[in-house]
Structure 1
């Protein structure tokens, strides 16, 4: 699966599921005894089904239109890009057999694999890649991911299986950007993409083909036997939408789902029995992502950065890590993963200091007239935090934030909203004051899509409307050089400015805590996570639970 490993920054509805990439050096714990030393009858076998729990439904199954992990968890199995990350976080070919990069880093020539078919039997060719490129750069396409392709000066097809792209200037994320999903030209050309039936009935080149989508209930995929990298061992992937992790856990215990992301409470206190240790494998690794409180910067209350700094000072983030995550994570201070080279540990951290927060709020004009509520120009400081249904960690974090801010005179309400409505009616329409959300981020440090001043349109990712020309310039510069140490200088400065501006209160980076039924073999933890080679997961014949009709 390649949904979170294609440089995509996606709205995360939950800790990434086990089949997603995105952690470093994950550990497996309480491994079932039968998994340690495979028996002679434990050899790979085709068949069976994996049932995954998800708290949110997909919003759309065309990658060009998607921006949430619920959608990418599905489309990552249906579509491919030209490149992908391998288990050691190195770029390797997917639809591309190989590539050549010119000495001046301005041209990439891709040589495509020739044995690839779309799932309707149509051959995949360079024309599909050209169509996908044009789809992303078309101003009529409401996509969050046009930036990388707008850097391309020229796209040339040399033959059916060779293409060349040229850039005006060196662009460090260029090669990785071609990990975006390739779309079928023969099914989309001449259509309005937002009206395409492929939004709900996708056809890709990937290892699984679409079977059924019952909205807010389930999505079923069947293995694609003609997949160019080999038929997947697991015949069916069923994703059940269960908008509550406690309910998912009950379904896990009852054997009605095979895989979910555990809460810290479940991980530390509820799966340590002998039965669980024999029946499941649990994993732990620091997520490639973070949770934050984002402020709508079009709202008058949040326009002053001194106010935003004070809000961060007033929130006890360490209390959230210990009380909500049970220590399975760490406080976040920037939009980069702490154990990567891109992380700048020297940014301003605005550690918990409610007295200083009160002082700064007073300096910004927010004062208490004696009733315990801050006011400015006669208006009370009050706002609503929205977050998504099913993620109790976020709801509990919001409750701590509510309590902390009340202590400094700010009245906060919390509203929990079903995921699809949350995206459609609130985030995409900028209809919120503050949102408690998470980003799953890619391997490359380029974050133009989230922070660039121009990326504020509907379906785009800068939905808080953050605008800073210096940040725009730094992100452009960081993407224009190849030498990692030189790039890091730009991204370090970018993080310093973001820390000063505090458009988000960065809350925490949590440990990803997937659990998977022990009947599934072939799961090998690696620096990128555990789902990088999902097509090689299997269930030995004698352990298979479901018979899947072709």
Structure 2
């Protein structure tokens, strides 16, 4: 671990026959191998998240270990309240990985590409208030908004892309996203499809040269395989299931990081599907029929907490909304009040059709699979014929339901406005509620904490009255690392999919 060659065990046999000087040079390289999910592209402008993005790219702003906004590519910024204009003053010593200078034109190009509806970016709702982007000079750029957006500085953590490599390219299909060039602490060296993405340190990084020479994102799509490869030494760091992480707890060769997250799991109902257009009034029965504590104990080994809404780890959480605590009798009462009748087979029927649905779960995520299986069993016990499937690809428009995960440790606007707002970029359920739209808009347009609190309180009440999801639980992020890795911040609250651990990767060391 301390001195690992670039390809680990794969190259060991080859190097045994190499000249001694070559072996020493290779072994002097410090390499960290991370167990990663697969990537088909690295496209932070179009895709909602990706753990690797922060190693390759920078935004104008960044988040520190407390998830507060700090300078990134912008050294400072001003806000003119009268004109609702942000002006960013950019660092002047920044170069792209190909040696070209970074300028304000790159910033303008990136945000305009995200805003362009033809590009279909999931991130577009974050910038819908931008009225005009002005390049004042190479190192100064301004954004005039047509309405206040208090989360704007958070959203300027968006990775900036190089105009000179992407201008005129298709922002969804360009080869650039298989060979990305950024300004970040690491740059792409190689990409073996389905196997590994190898990054080497950017020696000219404007914030200082990273300590670790090479970071390999080894593609391991199966959660159980990550634990096995960590034990065998093939991986140095991985996000594991709680059950797998527990097996490392007493081993001094590893450090276990049980990190809090804002990452929740729940059942997304697909309102484009005819079933929920007919049976939307049965959703409260689903919410009452799930024993969240039992799922947390069985799947998460007690780590995490029951979920009733999207803002429980946010300062604007409303504790007083309907929690839909486990109440099987109340769930049955909802079904019966809606005209459902219990059949001889133990399932309810409505208008001659059995009440039930299929929960789709993404392949490879064992925690989600286990959560969905137990939830389905619990709902069967209240008379709903619920099963799960693990499709090869997610069919957002066609499926009945999905075991969803979202969450942001940042401003409350993040992962609410674009997830629950009508026709927004990350609204994969087709959910639409005029009051929800109204309250989310009111909250993003005020920097008064009291105004925002009132708006988010109302949003959460309305979302509970008309659920988009059956919220189940918030999960912890169980990272396990080789004990030689130093610098991981154990107190940072992680985001969706545990994203965030690499926020200070340039400062990590290997003992």
TM over 0.5: yes
Tell me whether 1:323 sits opposite 2:298 in the alignment: yes
**Aligned positions of 1:50-69 closer than 5 A:** 50-54=32-36, 56-68=37-49
Distance 1:148 1:324 in 2: 34
The answer to which structure, 1 or 2, has the higher relative contact order (CA under 8 A, 6+ apart) is: 1
Per the TM alignment, residue 182 of structure 1 is displaced from its structure 2 partner at its CA by 0.8
Which secondary structure state, in structure 1, belongs to the residue aligned with residue 349 of structure 2?
strand
Partner of 1:516: 481
Which secondary structure state, in structure 2, belongs to the residue aligned with residue 292 of structure 1?
strand
**Aligned positions of 1:396-415 closer than 5 A:** 396-415=370-389
Per the TM alignment, residue 103 of structure 1 is displaced from its structure 2 partner at its CA by 4.0
Which secondary structure state, in structure 2, belongs to the residue aligned with residue 239 of structure 1?
strand
Per the TM alignment, residue 156 of structure 1 is displaced from its structure 2 partner at its CA by 1.3
Partner of 1:341: 315
Task: Determine if contact 1:60/1:66 at 8 Å carries over to the other structure.
Answer: no
Change (3 A) 1:302 1:358: same
**Aligned positions of 1:128-277 closer than 5 A:** 128-268=106-246, 270-273=247-250, 276-277=251-252
Q: Deviations over 1:379-432 (max 9, x none)?
A: 2223211111222221111111121111122222211245xx33xxx23xx221
Change (3 A) 1:117 1:192: same
Per the TM alignment, residue 123 of structure 1 is displaced from its structure 2 partner at its CA by 0.5
Per the TM alignment, residue 47 of structure 1 is displaced from its structure 2 partner at its CA by 3.7
Partner of 1:444: 411
Partner of 1:375: 349
Q: Deviations over 1:180-210 (max 9, x none)?
A: 1111111111222223111211111111111
Distance 2:141 2:110 in 1: 13
Which secondary structure state, in structure 1, belongs to the residue aligned with residue 371 of structure 2?
helix
Distance 1:170 1:272 in 2: 47
Q: Deviations over 1:303-354 (max 9, x none)?
A: 344310011111111110111111111101100133x312111110111111
Change (3 A) 1:442 1:104: farther
TM-score, scaled relative to structure 1: 0.83
**Aligned positions of 1:401-480 closer than 5 A:** 401-418=375-392, 421-422=393-394, 426-427=395-396, 430-446=397-413, 447-455=416-424, 460-480=425-445
Distance 2:405 2:196 in 1: 23
Task: Determine if contact 2:259/2:492 at 8 Å carries over to the other structure.
Answer: no
Q: Deviations over 1:39-93 (max 9, x none)?
A: xxxxxxx941111112x3123211112135xxx1112211110001112332111
Which secondary structure state, in structure 1, belongs to the residue aligned with residue 325 of structure 2?
coil
Which secondary structure state, in structure 1, belongs to the residue aligned with residue 206 of structure 2?
coil
Task: Determine if contact 1:474/1:494 at 8 Å carries over to the other structure.
Answer: yes
Change (3 A) 1:364 1:382: same
Which secondary structure state, in structure 1, belongs to the residue aligned with residue 485 of structure 2?
coil
Partner of 1:27: none
Distance 1:524 1:352 in 2: 36
- Structure 1 stretch displaced more, 475-484 or 86-95: 86-95
Per the TM alignment, residue 523 of structure 1 is displaced from its structure 2 partner at its CA by 2.9
Task: Determine if contact 2:67/2:409 at 8 Å carries over to the other structure.
Answer: no
Change (3 A) 1:194 1:523: closer
Q: Deviations over 1:346-387 (max 9, x none)?
A: 110111111111121122232223222222222222321111
Partner of 1:33: none
How many equivalent pairs are there? Answer: 476
Which secondary structure state, in structure 1, belongs to the residue aligned with residue 39 of structure 2?
coil
TM-score, scaled relative to structure 2: 0.89
Which secondary structure state, in structure 2, belongs to the residue aligned with residue 450 of structure 1?
helix
Which secondary structure state, in structure 1, belongs to the residue aligned with residue 160 of structure 2?
coil
Partner of 2:288: 313
Partner of 1:3: none
Distance 2:475 2:463 in 1: 21
Partner of 1:31: none
Task: Determine if contact 2:65/2:489 at 8 Å carries over to the other structure.
Answer: no
Distance 1:500 1:534 in 2: 42
Task: Determine if contact 2:421/2:436 at 8 Å carries over to the other structure.
Answer: yes
Partner of 1:35: none
RMSD: 1.8
Q: Which runs of 5+ in 2 are unaligned?
A: 1-27, 495-500
Partner of 1:37: none
Q: Deviations over 1:459-485 (max 9, x none)?
A: x31111000011111111100100223
Distance 1:165 1:412 in 2: 49
Per the TM alignment, residue 522 of structure 1 is displaced from its structure 2 partner at its CA by 2.7
Task: Determine if contact 2:409/2:493 at 8 Å carries over to the other structure.
Answer: no
Distance 2:226 2:95 in 1: 36
Per the TM alignment, residue 247 of structure 1 is displaced from its structure 2 partner at its CA by 1.6
Q: Which runs of 5+ in 1 are unaligned?
A: 1-45, 541-550
